[in-house]
Structure 1
Amino acid sequence: MAQRNMTCDVLVIGGGINGAGIARDAAGRGLSVVLCEKDDLASHTSSASTKLIHGGLRYLEYYEFNLVRKALIEREVLLRSAPHIMWPLRFVMPHAKGQRPAWMIRAGLFMYDHLAHRDLLPGSRGINLKTHAAGKPLKPEFARGFEYSDGWVNDARLVVLNAVDAAEKGAVILTRTLCEKAIRKDGRWQAALRTAGGEQLQVSARCMVNATGPWAAHFLQTATPQTSGKTLRLIKGSHIIVKRLFDHPYAYIFQHPDGRIVFAIPYEEDFTLIGTTDIDYHGDIDRVAIDSDEIAYLCQLSSQYFEKEITPSEVVWSYSGVRPLVEDEAADAAAVTRDYRFELDAQDAPLLTVFGGKITTFRKLAEEAVDLIAPALSNRHGTWTAKACLPGGDIHGPRPQNRSVREFDKFVQNLQQKYAWLPPALMARYARAYGTRARAMLDGRRVLADMGEELAPGLFAVEVNYLIHREWATCAADILWRRSKLGLHLPPNTAEKLDAWLAGQQENTLLARA
């Protein structure tokens, strides 16, 4: 098998949110970019978040004011850029005896409201849980509480859409491609890549970015001649999914006596998402999974608040991820900073390593990362992502607008009217997943028969082919659990059937080429 050779300005290692964001930013500045990811996009940490675009209310008590302010600013920037996969969410915090005094919570919420300018999100307020809709599922002893705003995000789709935008601006996205070795030679990085099928690729890059998340230090040690002075602290966060616990649109934030908090969030219409844990992790990063103690902890804490007791037997799905946090002096895993750090080795061929970060600040991180490497690449293009929509988010034109967030339901209704031959619930799902790109997926189709084979209830061949050809999906897990969460809704044998169909499609393609 012949070896393929590629050249680029920037080689990005890692297809999580930071790597995809950096690839997008760099490609938009006119730099040639190659991104390689050893698995699927968003396979690990970036699809295992609590799925919030938030400032991080609890970080205020650790005096992380700069981080919170930066995240609060980004919260509305992101909501405007992708209103299909992000939207505002109101949180309810029940107040119980023995917790922080009410005046302290009010002070914290006042600061949260005013650390950054808000256009889209209403401020906080005290509420009477005896009359508020969110009080009904709670135990009767919770009589008062607080309500405040943050945002929700489809985290895995956020990664994919950044990669899509990067590719449309010229970047080459290589999934299931491992960077085995990278050395400096003649003022460039010479990187040896290997695909899952065994194909060897050689990439010659003027600059390399290590955005491998939890693998950042490991990558430096095993694939490059570099070492790092920074230490990562790996923190495992786990979540459980249970059948829907309440009918209203609010989310909850519950406080634990030890200072930790747990969210209970409306999820995928039929479910409630509960998380997260914060524990130090020392195991295999490629095989992170929830354990029985974490499940028991999340069930127990939630049951302290909800009238209905939640037991481990009611968990229908769970997921875990490892957050790569920059090591500091904090003894408590929950107190370790979520801010990010860069390490720039500015030799002939620069190497930038990204440490830490959180999903809310990915765009700012990417912008600052490209700012650091641009001078060495003689690139003077200004920053641009704060004023640009992500693919599908251009509901009212190419520039982000508040009305795209506020009027998203009207956008859905318009699509449902235009494609009245599709079931309204299916069109609503397409609108949320693909935004304006739903029109491209449905282009030329006039009746349900034009959608191709229905591979599972509500999953047609046209969507699967779109995900394969436009979003790098290759298997059922990519489609059912990362590009969507249809795996929660469809029969258990759907993945097996879908993989068989995909294998058949691939075989037919090979026969056609023969």
Structure 2
Amino acid sequence: MGGSSIPDLVILGGGVNGAAIARDAAGRGLAVTLLESGDIGGATSSASTKLVHGGLRYLEFGALGLVRKALIERDRLLAAAPHISWPLPFLLPLVPGGRPGWMLACGLLLYDHLARRRQVPGACRVDLRAEVAGGALKPGIRHAFRFFDGWVDDARLVVLLARDAHDRGADIRVRDGAVRARFADGLWQVETASGQRLAARHLVNATGPWAETVARDLLGLADPPRLRLVQGAHLVTRRVNRTEEAFLLQQEDGRIVFLLPYARDWSLVGTTETPVAQPGDAAITPAEEAYLLAAANAVLARPLTPQDIRHRFAGVRPLILEEGKSDRETTRDWRFHIHERVPATTVVGGKITTFRRLAEDLVSHLFPKTRPWTRTATLPGGDVPDLGGKTARANFLLWLRALKARFADHDPALVERLASLYGTEAEAMLAGGLGERRPSGLFEAEVAHLVAREFARTEEDMLWRRTKLALTLEKRPLRPRVRA
């Protein structure tokens, strides 16, 4: 397999699923090439709500299997990448017109029961008048449930998956997507945008919302999967509370909206589920912005205004088309669409929490003689030593404290920023010298690392998806030296 000059597997799409499949396959000794037309994780996978969760609301639709599967993967990711993911406390306020307290209590009890909970505590009822976080809410909102899920830097997650795949031998090609692919004489013949040609025994279409179009038009297959495309819109606003708690807000239409701490100094409000016709149509609408602001302002003591919005983003999620079901009811599970008469599979659906399990199941299906390995493997930078903490995140925080002490001549906030992005790899970066600090806030050592090790090619790659430093920049064109 891996010793042949012909790849065992060509993967189209460098989102979370494509990168995870490349990583899993490369770690089994397979020859893998991943083709991505843009940046790694540059579309849907960097426009999520950043949550690693089982999907509490899916319990209403009886999706116990999906919830349990996702909760197991939640714990695995929190253990594998404690620098970019961590347990996130949620407050679920009890509000007039919302689900009754007994129903929420039963749902949370079931949610905790389905989870292994090695990395997060269980749920409880709290009096908001005795909680610091309660000060952000209107005085009439007095009680809530506290429960835990996980948060992840989605864009960094995808980059680290691709990094790990590359380190294990995968050929990762960014900004050079497939423009034509045909199956002939027992092999896939693929041509890329740069004119490169390669052959492969198997092809996986992991292009997310573009999967139906790619299968039909680029691969020339007569049996493309049918997708339902929905847009999820988000607002980045001023920070609305002083604590690390997130809020889960019930809506009169039965949906929920999240209000999350984000990138240290901001809050993230999301998300919507608006049908869209084309995968490239992602753009937040005035109606979505108004909906999200209204959801937040229904509970906040100090309302948000459009002037409080620092950034807006939207991503298109590809859902399995299930006739007769609404967007809320449509499953977030995945399916493998096995194409007829050719060795090609299109990945349909899925969610960011379950990327590892999806990849493991697919590679095991395609190459049943190989062995899974990712269940306990860490991601680059996540190999934090066991310092006696009860969880992976606790060990990370103990390690971070020691790192700040070791590099006491540096600003502790800088050390924390680097550690929270690069994990244990920040240690070598600090020891080797950071070099000049650019106007963007990036240091020379960071830029070198992002280009050489994290597939970054543009200032947008570096300042938005890799670091989020763009949020702190003034609204002005980026300096030429940053671009260079």
Output the CA distance in 1 between the equivalents of 2:390 and 2:340. Answer: 40
Partner in structure 2 of residue 319 of structure 1: 313
Show CA shifts across 1:101-142 (max 9, x none): 111111000000001321121111111112122211111111
Q: How far, CA to CA, are the matches of 1:441 and 1:205 in structure 2? A: 38
Shift of 1:329: 3.3
Matched, 1:369 2:359: no
Q: Do the aligned partners of 2:223 and 2:339 also contact (CA within 8 Å) in 1?
A: no
Q: For the Cα contact (< 8 Å) 1:217–1:227, is it kept in 2?
A: no
State the distance in 2 between where 1:371 and 1:441 align: 37
Please name the residue that 1:383 is paired with. 372
- Which residue does 2:272 correspond to in 1? 277
Hey, what does 1:172 align to over in structure 2?
171
Match of 1:512 in 2: none
- Pairwise CA distance, 1:503: 5.5
**1:64 corresponds to:** 63
2:481 equivalent in structure 1: 501
Change (3 A) 1:346 1:229: closer
Partner of 1:241: helix, strand, or coil? strand
1:8 alignment partner, SS class: coil
Q: Choose the corresponding residue for 2:197, options 164, 181, 202.
A: 202
Q: 2:452 aligns with which of 466, 469, 485?
A: 469
User: Identical aligned pairs, as a percentage?
Assistant: 44
Report the Cα distance in structure 2 between the residues aligned to 1:427 and 1:503, rounded to whole angstroms. Answer: 24
Q: Which residue of 2 aligns with 1:76?
A: 75
The equivalent of 1:432 in structure 2 is 420
Q: Secondary structure at the match of 2:403?
A: helix
Q: Secondary structure at the match of 1:166?
A: helix
Q: 1:241 to 1:101 in 2, by over 3 A?
A: same
Tell me, yes or no, if the aligned pair for 2:459 and 2:483 is still in contact at 8 Å.
Answer: no
Pairwise CA distance, 1:230: 3.1
In 1, distance between residues paired with 2:199 and 2:212? Answer: 22
- Whether the 8 Å contact between 2:440 and 2:469 is mirrored in structure 1 is no
Counterpart residue identity of residue 192, structure 1:
E
Residue of structure 2 equivalent to 1:353: 346
Q: Which residue of 2 aligns with 1:232?
A: 227
The Cα of 1:145 is off from its aligned counterpart by: 1.2
Identify unmatched segments of 5+ residues in structure 1. 1-5, 446-450, 505-514
CA contact (8 A) 2:82 2:396 kept: yes
- SS at 2:177 equivalent: strand
The amino acid that maps onto 1:317 is H
Match of residue 411 from structure 2: 423
Distance 1:310 1:224 in 2: 47
| Alpha-carbon offset, residue 346 of structure 1 | 6.7
The aligned residue for residue 213 of structure 1 is: 208
- Pair 1:300-2:289 in alignment: no
Find 2:464's aligned residue among 481, 490, 493: 481
Q: Which moved more, 1:42-51 or 1:458-467?
A: 458-467
- Give the corresponding residue for 1:251: 246
Alpha-carbon separation, structure 2, partners of 1:257 and 1:18: 33
Contact kept in structure 1, 2:385 and 2:395, CA below 8 Å: no
On the 8 A contact 1:426/1:458 being kept in 2, the answer is no
The 2-side partners of 1:330 and 1:127 are apart by 39
- Given that 2:364 and 2:370 are in contact with CA atoms closer than 8 Å, whether structure 1 keeps it comes out as no
1: CA distance, partners of 2:344 / 2:117: 37
- Separation in structure 2 between the aligned mates of residue 440 and residue 203 of structure 1, nearest angstrom: 37
Partners of 1:271 and 1:210 in 2: CA distance: 36
Count of residues in correspondence between the two structures: 478
Q: Secondary structure of 2:215's partner?
A: helix
* Whole-Å separation in 2 of the counterparts to 1:303 and 1:491: 27
What TM-score does the superposition give when structure 1 sets the normalisation length? 0.90
The residue type equivalent to 2:182 in the other structure is I
How far apart, in 2, do the equivalents of 1:394 and 1:274 lie?
Answer: 31
**What is the match of residue 258 of structure 2?**
263
Contact 2:212–2:224 (CA<8 Å) still a contact in 1?
no
Distance across 2 between alignment mates of 1:481 and 1:457:
11
SS at structure 1 position matched to 2:112: helix
Deviation at 1:502, TM superposition (A): 5.4
- Structure 2's unaligned 5+ residue stretches are none
Tell me whether 1:339 sits opposite 2:329 in the alignment. Answer: no
Contact 2:12 2:207 in 1 (8 A): yes
Tell me the distance in 2 between the aligned counterparts of 1:302 and 1:330: 31
User: Could you tell me which amino acid in structure 2 is paired with residue 456 of structure 1?
Assistant: P
TM-superposed CA distance for 1:421, in Å, is: 2.7
Assess if the C-alpha contact under 8 Å between 1:137 and 1:245 holds in 2: yes
Paired with 2:141 and 2:316, the residues of 1 have a C-alpha distance of 33
Task: Return the letter of the residue paired with 2:376.
Answer: K
1:180/1:402 CA distance change after superposition, 3 Å? farther
Alpha-carbon contact 1:10-1:206 (below 8 Å) kept: yes
Report the 3-state secondary structure (helix = DSSP H, G, I; strand = E; otherwise coil) of the residue aligned with 1:390: coil
- Whether the aligned pair in 2 keeps the contact of 1:86 and 1:153 (CA below 8 Å) is yes
**Counterparts of 1:444 and 1:479 in 2: how far apart (Å)?**
21
- Residues of 1 paired with 2:54 and 2:396: CA distance? 23
Matched with 1:448 is none
Q: Segments of 4+ in structure 1 off by > 6 A?
A: none
Q: Is the 8 A contact 1:27 1:169 kept in 2?
A: yes
Letter in 1 for 2:382: G
- CA distance, structure 1, for counterparts of residue 214 and residue 159 of structure 2: 23
Contact 1:240–1:319, Cα closer than 8 Å, also in 2:
yes
CA contact (8 A) 2:216 2:224 kept: no
> 2:353 is aligned with what amino acid?
T
CA contact (8 A) 1:240 1:318 kept: yes
Deviation at 1:57, TM superposition (A): 0.4
Per the alignment, residue 41 of structure 1 pairs with 40
Judging changes above 3 Å, is the alpha-carbon distance between structure 1 residues 112 and 182 closer, same or farther for their aligned structure 2 residues? same
Q: What is the distance in 2 between the residues matched to 1:287 and 1:301?
A: 24
Aligned to 1:3: none
- 1:353 and 1:426 map into 2 onto residues whose CA distance is 42
Instruction: State the TM-score, normalized to the length of structure 2.
Output: 0.96
- In the TM superposition, what is the alpha-carbon distance from 1:488 to its structure 2 partner? 0.4
Q: Distance in 1 between matches of 2:25 and 2:352?
A: 18
* Residue 148 of structure 1: how far off its partner (Å): 0.4
Q: For the residues of structure 1 that align with 2:293 and 2:365, how far apart are their CA atoms? A: 44
Structure-2 separation of matches of 1:452 and 1:407: 29
Residue 7 of structure 2: SS of its match in structure 1?
strand
Superposition deviation, residue 417 in structure 1: 2.0
Amino acid in the other structure paired with 1:97: P
Asked if the contact 1:264/1:275 (under 8 Å) is kept, the reply is yes
Match for residue 14 of structure 2?
A: 15
Distance in 2 separating the partners of 1:396 and 1:335: 42
Take 1:98 and 1:496, find their aligned partners in 2: how far apart are those partners? 47
Moved more, 133-142 or 146-155: 133-142
